[in-house]
Amino acid sequence: MKATLALSLAALGFTVLSQAAHADTDTAADRAYDSTPSTLTRAEVQADLALWQRAGLEAAAGRESFDPTRPDIASRLAQYKQWRSGSEYRTELARLQDKAMTAQAPSSRTAN
């Protein structure tokens, strides 16, 4: 359930960012039926979500009254975009990939 929530929130983050750019050309119904498969890895989505949450956008985006033009939200979005396009994203992605590799490593214990 946490993975589903994380993916949903990350998708919401991408939607909010692209809404401003495409507000004149598409509708909510168009976005709801977009079934284009994602090419992002799980770690990429989780890294993006971590930055979204760190910027304080998780609670704000869940509200129906989310307005990316409000000064406080615009500031948080700007911070998120800066992190997302900078070394913060690469660092978070590397951390998550290392964590996944460690979790998948075979156990050093043997069954007796």
User: pLDDT value at position 41?
Assistant: 92
**Which residue, among 105, 75, 86, 20, has the nearest Cα to 48 in the 3D structure?**
86
Amino acid at 86: G
How is the chain split into domains, by residue range? Answer: 2-22+39-103
How far apart (Å, rounded) are the C-alpha atoms in residues 24 and 77? 20
Give the model confidence (pLDDT) of 53-101 as tens digits.
999 998 777 777 788 898 989 999 999 999 999 999 999 999 999 988 8
pLDDT in tens, 31-51: 666 678 889 999 999 999 999
E strand or H helix that includes residue 79? helix 71-84
10 Cβ neighbours under 8 A, 6+ residues apart: 45, 46, 48, 49, 52
